[in-house]
Every structure is written in C-alpha cells, then in structure tokens.
Amino acid sequence: MQHQAKKRYGQNFLRDKNLLKKIVNQSHILNKDVIEVGPGQGALTSFLAEQAHQLTCFEIDTSLKSILDPIEEQYDNLEIIYKDFMTADLTDLGDDLHVVANVPYYITTPIIFKLIETPQIKTASLMIQKEVCERLIAKPGTKAYNNLSVVMAYHAHVYKMMDVKRHMFVPQPNVDSAVIRIEKRDKALLDPKAEKIFISIVRTAFKQKRKTLVNNWFEAYQIPKEDIINFLKSFDINENIRAEKIAIEQFMKLAGAWTYDI
C-alpha cells in the first residue's frame, strides 16, 4: 500500500530486511518489553514483535493506520498507539523498558532526553543522523565533543552499532545515518545536588565553544574570573582551557567541589 512520506514528521522509511534483522538482533530485546517510536510502515515492527515479550508502538501519523492495522492483527503482543511519543505517559508499560526506533532527525535530541529522563527505560537502540551519533560518542579533544557528549556519558554507556548509508532509505535523506546503542547506568554517579550542578556547569562550559571555560562560566554565573581561575588551579587545570579538553571525570570532580550559585 502506497504512503506519501510526510516531511513534517521526518519520515524516511528503511526497508532492507537484512539490516532490520541485524538491528533487532543487536538490540537484545528477546522476551523484553519494547517501545518503538514511529513505526512508520511497519518494516521494523514485525521483526521486533517476533522477539519482544510486549511491543508498544507510538505513531503520530494516523494516515498510516491502514498499513499498520494488518500488522497489529498478526501479533497478540503488539499494540500501536496513535499518539506523539513526546507527550505519552509510559508509566503503565512496565519498569524494564527497551526502545528500538528509527528516530526522525528533527526531534532526535528531545527524544533522547526523554529516554534518559524516564527511569523505566533501560536501553535504547536508535537510528539517528550520523553527525549526531558522532557527537554522542565523542571523546575529549575531538571536534565533535560537546555538552551532549558529556551528559550522555554521565547517564549511560553509549556506542555506535553500525553505519547506515542514505541510499537505504525511501525517500533518501541528505545525510548518512548510524544506529547508536544507549545502555543507561544502574545508578547515578553523583548525588542529586552535585548532579544538578554538573549538568549546569557542563551546559554553560560549552555555550560558546571557542571561549575558555573561565569566560563561559563568568558570563553564565557572574563569578569573578580570579575566583574561577583559582578554582581550576586547585584541580591543576590551566586557566586558558576550553570545555572540549575537559573529560567527564574532571567535570564531575568540579561539580562535587562547586560552591557558587547556579
């Protein structure tokens, strides 16, 4: 059945069965409760339903109902909910959830943060824009390293599962993609107060990447530059350093010792 891909929903459909099977197999969802965000035409959905204990799909485009209904009828463990995932309450879906999805590029970051902020979601395997994938897994000192790299490393173990070329999608997007694996940590690395400080100082540290840590924090918090310099020196950190050179472990130590208002 033909369906015209809708640009406003970022619809690019993947149909290569071998690749779809590979994604599902490497997502380790056998007999687990799974969420698919944006099943589209259901290419991935069937493979997920065959392995999952329970599969819940959130689809915002109701015009896909005529395509997805026959798939839903095939599987007793499949429920398709026609609702925006970003506004969905996941409370009743269980406390050990695993997400597998081909994520629309325009809403990738908000979806990732919802996954991180939802305690019952334990893992996620996401098809995303390759450039975003590189940021998520970037290491200190590299061009792609930014605040998202640090925040993701704090919340989860993150690695790239595979690259996916643009020609494998219909319609073909203008960029290549990658499948990223997010495995959330069992417990927080910092106490709630230090975690709040950590998130804030990381975000402001990268606000203008070409500025030094001192200048970014001075502008964000109006702390005297001399105080920030002395604070950094107490950790043997050069006053001219930029955020891209600071590893997550250093940011955590800084957050633990931070005494300024944020």
Please tell me whether 38 is known to bind a ligand: yes
Question: Whose structure tokens read 């919802």?
Answer: 114
Please tell me whether 215 is known to bind a ligand: no
Please tell me whether 216 is known to bind a ligand: no
Inter-CA distances, 168 with 2, 161, 165, 186, 227, Å: 18, 16, 6, 35, 53
Structural contact between residues 63 and 38, judged by C-beta atoms closer than 8 angstroms:
no
Structural contact between residues 119 and 156, judged by C-beta atoms closer than 8 angstroms:
no
Please tell me whether 117 is known to bind a ligand: no
Instruction: For residue 85, report the phi and psi dihedrals to the nearest 5 degrees.
Output: -55, -35
Please tell me whether 90 is known to bind a ligand: no
Instruction: Give the Cα separation of 100 and 132 in Å (integer).
Output: 17
Please tell me whether 59 is known to bind a ligand: yes
Structural contact between residues 168 and 14, judged by C-beta atoms closer than 8 angstroms:
yes
Alpha helices in the chain (DSSP H): 17-25, 45-51, 65-74, 108-117, 130-136, 147-155, 192-205, 213-221, 225-233, 248-257
Instruction: Give the Cα separation of 246 and 107 in Å (integer).
Output: 28
Annotated binding site: 12, 14, 38, 59, 84, 102
Annotated binding site for S-adenosyl-L-methionine: 12, 14, 38, 59, 84, 102
